[in-house]
Amino acid sequence: MRTDPDSKRRTTRPPETDDRFAAPIRGAAIDAETRCGHYDDAVDVVAIRFSCCDCYYPCFRCHDAVTDHDAERISRDAFDEPSVLCGVCGATLSVRAYLDCEDTCPACDAAFNPGCRRHRDRYFAVGE
């Protein structure tokens, strides 16, 4: 985690978004289904909207690589807002729909990485 004395500081000049997607996506070496240079298994096909900069990233490491601020998790009161993008079909899911989907896109049946359950608390204010 960064030790920025002003953890609420926003990116002063946002990095370019990837224009292959309808949603604004940033990250490292993103492929056509939102896999990145950090996580690139066949099932790593989601991008998550970070509320701190209102942009989607394939993972927390991508966020850290291209921003100059600490990541903020999506609060529980925003769990019904569009926040998770399926990289296979482009459907945008609410956090609640993503957490309840049993690792399968409800729009296209693409498999999502079940291992991501272990670090959902990096993205979403779960269990609070």
User: Does 9 score more than 80 pLDDT?
Assistant: no
Residue 128: predicted pLDDT: 61
Other Cβ atoms within 10 Å of 40 Cβ, number:
13
36 confidence band (pLDDT: 50, 70, 90): very high
Residue 88: predicted pLDDT: 96
29-32 long-range contacts, Cβ below 8 Å, gap at least 24? 30/58, 30/62, 32/87
Residue 18: predicted pLDDT: 73
Q: Alpha helix locations (H) across 41-103?
A: 60-66, 95-100
**Predicted TM-score of the model (pTM):** 0.84
Q: CA neighbours within 13 Å on the CB side: how many for 73?
A: 14
pLDDT digits 0-9 by tens, 94-126? 999 999 999 999 999 999 999 999 999 999 998
